[in-house]
């Protein structure tokens, strides 16, 4: 089939029978739920932009599997140019949604599993790579959204998966059958799972021989029996139930996370990509993490563009745009944001082919990119809040603003420059609140810290890939040291 339109995507999700829970209740119609719909709209944007000729080069690519044009979120990277276009696409979507558009995890899982299965097959003669190629072609031909599930709850971090008091704290195989496997466990922080057609499951860390049952990777439809999702709370989420478009800040778009439980889920053999080959768990994790840390050099930058623009508008509306310290703060925000983009582009441009033929980023630079993402967005948010002023967290509600008695009072006392309406001033302040503190914080500030691994995870990889011994040899050569 050709590329789906955004509306076709919405209707395809509506047909799924996913088990979604929120606030202690089963959500029978997640597609039209007012809290969940903005996140679905963000994914829709990945389909809508792919339909526009001006964005075709960024949003689509020609598949090496089918020879047809596919959405780039389902593409297997064929060059450093593909890697660069991925980052540029993510920045564009961040600019268009100011939220998490949720398909990056699946795209990054696609490419990590593609290359890892090839190398597993080379060693063991398994058929995992062919399994994945068929799955990937199916996803591309049907233009599906795929979630990537890596993060296990982990329980006691001092213990290996097999040593946990509760064996389900890492997802595992509980039964091996002639036609497939049965798995139990859960995956936490699942971005966009309720808006996905399929889910790729991967191990969450390096594993030893005793963790064989936990070294499993596979793909299943998101509405497979035994899978259910518990939606995570977000700050200010219930504002979406109040009917106030103004108070939400970003009423059209958003992100969503969920704890996803696998309760005796059957996986057929043709959908298995790793099944007990524990020594390859670390490779899969490292490659996925690298791709996903590259992603943050695009998506967070695009959302940062919106936040910088909102801060500049707030300065205009406050009558402070000409103040030198305001100009300097906007320059600093721009400098930090573009530095993140530089990192995303650099690790892409320095990419190289894997044994399977698809391209992977420079892992050291990808980890440097994400390490900066754990810091710079916090400073960008701090500066935005500084520029916006205290009204960003003390403004009255839209109900008060629309009230016949209170509205004129609010309009009188909360107006900034005379040429700008009080409503427009409140709108930009609510947008800043949303990006800094509200539901979009999941897709920007806090998620910048823990998404794609904690800061320490990147530092471990930087230490591993920094090649200090080579640097020592460089210093010895310059200093004419002979040992």
Cα 353 to Cα 360: distance, rounded to the nearest angstrom: 6
For position 2, what pLDDT does the model report?
82
Instruction: Exactly one of 46, 75, 100, 347 is catalytic; name it.
Output: 100
Cα 454 to Cα 111: distance, rounded to the nearest angstrom: 21
- Using an 8 Å Cβ cutoff, are 246 and 400 in contact? no
236 is catalytic: no
Instruction: Exactly one of 299, 343, 347, 369 is catalytic; name it.
Output: 299
Can you list the domains of the chain with their CATH numbers?
6-280 (2.40.110.10), 284-473 (1.20.140.10)
Our separate counts of H helices and E strands in the chain read 18, 14
Instruction: Exactly one of 9, 296, 341, 359 is catalytic; name it.
Output: 296
Phi, psi (rounded to 5 degrees) for 298: -115, -60
> 404 is written with which tokens?
């016949």
338 is catalytic: no
- Helix H, strand E, coil C: the string for 279-295 is HHHHHHHHHHHHHHHHH
Phi, psi (rounded to 5 degrees) for 198: -135, 165
Measured between its terminal Cα atoms, the distance across the chain in Å is: 66
For position 462, what pLDDT does the model report?
96
| HSE-up (13 A, CA, CB side) for residue 51 | 14
Cα 386 to Cα 308: distance, rounded to the nearest angstrom: 12
- Using an 8 Å Cβ cutoff, are 274 and 280 in contact? yes
129 is catalytic: no
298 phi-psi bin (left φ>0, alpha ψ -120 to 50, beta other)? alpha
For position 447, what pLDDT does the model report?
86
Instruction: Exactly one of 9, 60, 74, 104 is catalytic; name it.
Output: 104
184 is catalytic: no
Instruction: Exactly one of 119, 198, 257, 277 is catalytic; name it.
Output: 257
Each residue's pLDDT tens digit, 157-170? 999 999 999 999 99
Cα 389 to Cα 370: distance, rounded to the nearest angstrom: 29
Q: State the alpha helices, DSSP H only, in 62-180.
A: 80-97, 104-124, 128-142
Instruction: Exactly one of 228, 292, 347, 374 is catalytic; name it.
Output: 292
Burial 3-14 (b: 16+ CB within 10 A, else e): bbebeebbebbe
Q: State the alpha helices, DSSP H only, in 350-397.
A: 363-373, 376-388, 391-394
104 is catalytic: yes
> 115 is written with which tokens?
């290359």
- Using an 8 Å Cβ cutoff, are 103 and 115 in contact? no
Q: Which 3 state secondary structure label does DSSP give 75?
A: coil
Q: State the alpha helices, DSSP H only, in 125-241.
A: 128-142
* Spans of the chain, pLDDT less than 50: none
342 is catalytic: no
DSSP state of 362: -
385 is catalytic: no
Give the residue among 209, 117, 204 at the shortest CA–CA distance from 162.
209
Instruction: Exactly one of 46, 126, 191, 224 is catalytic; name it.
Output: 191
Instruction: Exactly one of 277, 385, 398, 447 is catalytic; name it.
Output: 447
Phi, psi (rounded to 5 degrees) for 53: -55, -35
Q: Which 3 state secondary structure label does DSSP give 81?
A: helix
For position 92, what pLDDT does the model report?
98
Cα 465 to Cα 393: distance, rounded to the nearest angstrom: 43
For position 457, what pLDDT does the model report?
93
292 is catalytic: yes
Q: Which 3 state secondary structure label does DSSP give 465?
A: helix
Give the residue among 108, 139, 194 at the shortest CA–CA distance from 3.
139
Cα 419 to Cα 309: distance, rounded to the nearest angstrom: 19
Distances (CA, A) of 292 to 12, 18, 27, 77, 107: 26, 26, 30, 14, 9
């Amino acid at each position: 089939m050709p590329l789906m339109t955004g509306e076709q995507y919405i209707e395809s999700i509506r047909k799924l029978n996913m088990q979604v829970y929120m606030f202690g209740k089963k959500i029978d119609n997640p597609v039209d739920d007012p809290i969940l719909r903005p996140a679905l709209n963000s994914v829709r944007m990945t389909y809508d932009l792919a339909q526009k000729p001006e964005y075709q080069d960024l949003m689509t690519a020609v598949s090496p599997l089918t020879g047809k044009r596919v959405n780039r979120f389902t593409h297997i990277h064929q060059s450093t140019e593909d890697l660069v276009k991925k980052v540029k696409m993510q920045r564009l979507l961040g600019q268009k949604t100011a939220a998490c558009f949720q398909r990056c995890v699946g795209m990054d899982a696609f490419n990590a599993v593609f290359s890892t299965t090839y190398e597993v097959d080379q060693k063991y003669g398994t058929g995992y790579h062919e399994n994945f190629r068929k799955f990937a072609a199916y996803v591309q031909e049907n233009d599906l959204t795929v979630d990537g599930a890596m993060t296990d709850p982990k329980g006691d971090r001092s213990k290996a998966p097999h040593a946990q008091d509760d064996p389900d704290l890492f997802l595992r195989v509980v039964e091996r059958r002639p036609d497939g496997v049965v798995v139990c466990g859960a995956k936490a922080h699942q971005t966009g799972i309720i808006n996905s057609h399929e889910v790729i499951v991967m191990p969450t860390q390096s594993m030893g021989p005793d963790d064989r049952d936990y070294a499993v990777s596979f793909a299943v439809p998101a509405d497979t029996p035994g899978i259910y999702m518990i939606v995570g709370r977000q700050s200010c989420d219930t504002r979406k139930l109040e009917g106030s478009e103004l108070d939400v800040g970003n009423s059209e778009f958003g992100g969503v996370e969920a704890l996803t439980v696998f309760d005796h889920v059957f996986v057929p053999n043709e959908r298995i990509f790793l099944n007990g080959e524990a020594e390859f768990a670390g490779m899969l994790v490292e490659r996925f993490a690298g791709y996903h840390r590259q992603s943050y050099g695009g998506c967070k930058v695009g959302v940062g563009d919106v936040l910088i623009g909102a801060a500049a508008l707030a300065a205009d509306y406050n009558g402070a745009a000409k103040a030198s310290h305001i100009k300097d703060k906007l320059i600093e925000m721009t400098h930090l944001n573009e530095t993140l983009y530089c990192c995303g582009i650099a690790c892409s441009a320095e990419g190289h082919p894997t044994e399977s033929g698809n391209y992977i980023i420079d892992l050291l630079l990808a980890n440097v990119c994400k390490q900066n993402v754990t810091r710079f967005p916090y400073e960008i948010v701090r500066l935005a809040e500084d520029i916006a002023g205290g009204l960003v967290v003390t403004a009255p509600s839209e109900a008060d603003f629309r009230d016949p008695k209170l509205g004129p009072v609010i309009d009188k006392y909360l107006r900034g420059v005379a040429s700008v309406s009080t409503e427009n001033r409140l709108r930009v302040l609510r947008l800043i609140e949303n990006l800094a503190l509200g539901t979009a914080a999941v897709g920007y500030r806090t998620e910048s810290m823990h998404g794609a691994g904690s800061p320490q995870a990147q530092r471990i990889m930087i230490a591993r890939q920094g090649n200090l011994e080579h640097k020592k040899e460089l210093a010895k050569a310059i200093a004419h040291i002979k040992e």
